[in-house]
Each structure stands twice: as C-alpha cells, then as structure tokens.
C-alpha cells in the first residue's frame, strides 16, 4: 500500500481505477473508487452479470497457534472452534457492554490458523482489541491488512468467469467456504463470500500481485459484460440484500440482538468471552430497539439519520436508505421501538419538512433466485 499525496492510503489498483474513469473518494482513510460508469449501471451489472470490486482497504488479521480457536472464542461472540477447516462464518467483536466493535468474517484456514476480515474503518481497532484479548493464549496475531489486497467478483456469472483462471475447485466450493491455491498463476485464497446478495468470490492476494489478478479477471470477464464496481453500488447492493453496514446499522450503541443478528452470538459456547455477561442480559431483557426494513411509499429517499415516527411519537431513526435499483422504489433500514417493528406496520419518515409513509417489511428486500 502506498501513501498518496493527499495523506490517504492508496490500494495497489488505484492507477487502474483512474484509468477506468473512476471517481475517487476518501473512505476510512483510503482513496477508493465510489463509481465508474454510474451506481445504477454498476448495480444492475452485478445483479445480471458480474462486477469486480477492489476491497483492498479491508483488514486481514491472521491468528495462528495452538490456542487459535480458543483465543478467538474469547475475543469474539461466535464460536470459531466449531468451524471446519476451509469454512467461514459471519461474526462480531463486541465491547464488554455488548455494543458492537465490528462485524467480521472468520475463515478457518487450518486447525490452528484463522483469518479475520474486518471493516476498513475498524481494522486498526479490531487489531488492537484482538492483540489485547489474546494475551495469555498460545497464539500469534499477524495484522497483514496493508500487505493483503482483496479483489471480489460478484454476480451470477462469477463462477464461469473465475473458474478457468484458478486451480481452486470453486465450482464445488460451498457458500462461506475458502480454498487455497492460485488465481491467474498467483498464490491466492479464494472464498465464496460477498456483500451483494449474489453468488461470487473474494480473492485475497499479496498487494504486489493484485494488479495481475485484477487484470486477469477484467480480461476474462470482458465478453461476459463484467464491469468494475465502486463503493456506491456496493452500498446499494448490500442494502437490497438486507446486510448491515458498520456505522449505519451496527455500532457501539447497538447489540447484535437489536440488529436482528442474535444468531451470531453463541451464548452456549464453553468459557467466558468479552461481552458475555452483557449479552446474556441483553438477550434475557429483550431488545430496546429493532432493526426493520422499510418500503417508503412516497417521493424522496429516507436517508441515514432521518427520524422515524409512529403516529406523532418518534419511534426511531433511519440507518440506511436508497432508491432500490432492482425494485425501482425507495427502501430503507431503520431502528424502531420493538412495538412498531411488526411487518405491515405503517410508519412515517421525516424527509426534509414532510412526513412520508413507510411500511415495515421483512428483510431482505432482494433475494436471488437459486
């Protein structure tokens, strides 16, 4: 990774993004492409064909040693010991009070070796917290965030585009599984994970090789209509898929239960873990707020921070909103009081000076045909 003149971190693909006409923006201290051809076009490409994402800003933390599973079991709310080698799960790292420090994907690369992938905005905090929490365990933390690039291909054509380039048997790779091998001849970890609601793969490589992997995927996907996709469409894609974004749906003031992600917390696992007492209480007490999907029945987009009302009572706040490119209608996620969270309930979002009706709907807004 290199430091750009503007003080931002640049991924190894920055020159390629500029050559492709990307608009670059600051995101979590990085200079990242927000869009190339346009958010709507990129979004539709991922839903109908496939898109290529540079996610090299994300954090990759390797945890290795005899106590690796046990140490992560103490540091995180999930149960990494239950993962088979070559499989992954969605997890969270919580504060002692039960609030969310970050959401993560944990990949088991070996009996005693894990890779934890953290959001760019939290990578340093997660690294620090992990280092602190694994003290006393027979384990080593290797923060390879700046040495690792991540290229994702997402969309229904991902498999056919990627398969000829890799010796990892990706056709047989299960969702939330990871294989070790090569892509375009370059050593890579290939995982069937993503953040779009589509089939696809995430390819982890050393930063020095990222350009060759990107070029090979672009070239292989050209005739299939694969296009580069920026952070703008990444956000609309994940929102349609009902996936939370840290800083919007998740944060230190929110427990996994409130975010509808209580299944991630393994209270039944052996031993103590950071946040256990608070999360046991949170589960027993029930949530103070609930994450809901909203179909906005009027003009305008309900955006992050807009207030949500039930009759004249303020019941919560919008966490994310957009015009759904797939549905052609405005959608949002929001926190409401638990009593107002029943699907079908009509609430109102304050959009500028108007109250616009919004119906609580079941998440996700979009589910791919399988």
Partner 1 sequence: MAQDLRYTKEHEWVRVEGDLATVGITDYAAHQLGDIVFVELPEIGRSLAQFGTVGVIESVKAVSDLFAPISGEVVETNAELSGSPELVNGDPFGRGWMLRIRIADSSQLDALLDQAAYEELTREG
Q: What tokens does 235 get? A: 């956000």
Q: Do 330 and 349 touch, CB atoms closer than 8 A?
A: no
| One of 155, 232, 293, 316 touching partner 1 (CB under 8 A) | 232
Q: Shortest approach of partner 1 to residue 140 CB, angstroms? A: 41
Sole residue written with tokens 């965030």: 145
Q: Name which of 246 and 306 has its Cβ closer to partner 1.
A: 306
Does residue 236 bind partner 1 (CB under 8 A)?
A: yes
| One of 20, 40, 163, 317 touching partner 1 (CB under 8 A) | 40
Among 225, 263, 342, 355, residue whose Cα is nearest residue 302: 355
Residue-wise DSSP of 279-295: HHHHHHH--SSEEEEEE
Sole residue written with tokens 């239960």: 257
Does residue 247 bind partner 1 (CB under 8 A)?
A: no
Does residue 325 bind partner 1 (CB under 8 A)?
A: yes
Q: Which of residues 263-292 bind partner 1 (CB under 8 A)?
A: none
Size of the site for partner 1 (CB under 8 A): 16
- The secondary structure of residue 339, as a DSSP letter, is G
Q: Which of residues 41-80 bind partner 1 (CB under 8 A)?
A: 41
Q: Give the up-direction half-sphere exposure of residue 85: CA atoms within 13 A in the CB hemisphere.
A: 7
Does residue 5 bind partner 1 (CB under 8 A)?
A: no
Q: Shortest approach of partner 1 to residue 322 CB, angstroms? A: 6
Options 67-75, 140-148, 165-173, 299-307: segment touching partner 1 (CB under 8 A): 299-307
Q: Which of residues 140-169 bind partner 1 (CB under 8 A)?
A: none
Give me the long-range contacts of 286-289 (CB less than 8 A, separation at least 24): 286/257, 286/338, 287/255, 287/257, 287/258, 287/338, 288/258, 288/338, 289/254, 289/258, 289/316, 289/335, 289/336, 289/337, 289/338
| One of 301, 317, 337, 361 touching partner 1 (CB under 8 A) | 301
Q: Name which of 21 and 187 has its Cβ closer to partner 1.
A: 21
| One of 6, 164, 284, 352 touching partner 1 (CB under 8 A) | 352
Does residue 323 bind partner 1 (CB under 8 A)?
A: yes
Q: Do 148 and 207 touch, CB atoms closer than 8 A?
A: yes
Q: Which residues bind partner 1 (CB under 8 A)?
A: 34-35, 38-41, 232, 236, 299-301, 303, 322-323, 325, 352
């Amino acid at each position: 990774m290199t430091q750009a003149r503007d003080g931002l971190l640049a991924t190894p693909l920055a020159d390629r993004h500029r050559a492709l006409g990307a608009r670059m923006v600051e995101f979590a201290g990085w200079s990242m492409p927000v869009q190339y051809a346009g958010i709507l076009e990129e979004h539709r490409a991922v839903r109908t064909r496939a898109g290529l994402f540079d996610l090299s800003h994300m954090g990759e933390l390797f945890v290795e040693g005899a106590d690796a599973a046990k140490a992560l079991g103490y540091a995180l709310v999930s149960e990494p010991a239950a993962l088979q080698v070559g499989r992954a799960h969605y997890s969270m790292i919580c504060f002692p009070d039960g609030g969310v420090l970050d959401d993560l994907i944990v990949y088991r690369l070996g009996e005693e070796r894990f890779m934890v992938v953290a959001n760019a905005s939290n990578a340093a905090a997660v690294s620090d917290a992990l280092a602190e929490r694994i003290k006393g365990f027979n384990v080593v933390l290797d923060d390879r965030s700046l040495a690792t690039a991540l290229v994702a291909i997402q969309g229904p054509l991902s498999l056919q585009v990627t398969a000829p380039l890799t010796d990892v048997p990706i056709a047989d790779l299960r969702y939330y599984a990871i294989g070790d091998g090569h892509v375009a001849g370059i050593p890579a970890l290939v995982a069937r994970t993503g953040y779009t609601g589509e089939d696809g793969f995430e390819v982890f490589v050393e930063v020095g090789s990222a350009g060759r992997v990107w070029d090979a995927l672009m070239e292989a996907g050209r005739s299939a209509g694969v296009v580069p996709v920026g952070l703008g469409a990444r956000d609309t894609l994940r929102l349609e898929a009902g996936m939370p974004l840290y800083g919007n749906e998740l944060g230190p003031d929110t427990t996994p239960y409130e975010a509808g992600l209580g299944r991630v917390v393994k209270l039944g696992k052996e031993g103590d873990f950071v946040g256990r007492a608070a999360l046991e209480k949170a589960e027993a007490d029930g949530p103070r707020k609930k994450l809901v999907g909203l179909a906005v029945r009027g003009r305008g987009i309900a955006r992050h921070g807009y207030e949500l009302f039930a009759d004249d009572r303020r019941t919560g706040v919008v966490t994310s909103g957009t015009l759904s490119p797939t549905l052609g209608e405005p959608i949002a996620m929001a926190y409401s009081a638990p009593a107002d969270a029943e699907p079908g309930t009509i609430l109102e979002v304050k959009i500028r000076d108007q109250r616009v009706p919004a119906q609580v709907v079941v998440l996700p807004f979009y589910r791919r045909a399988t």
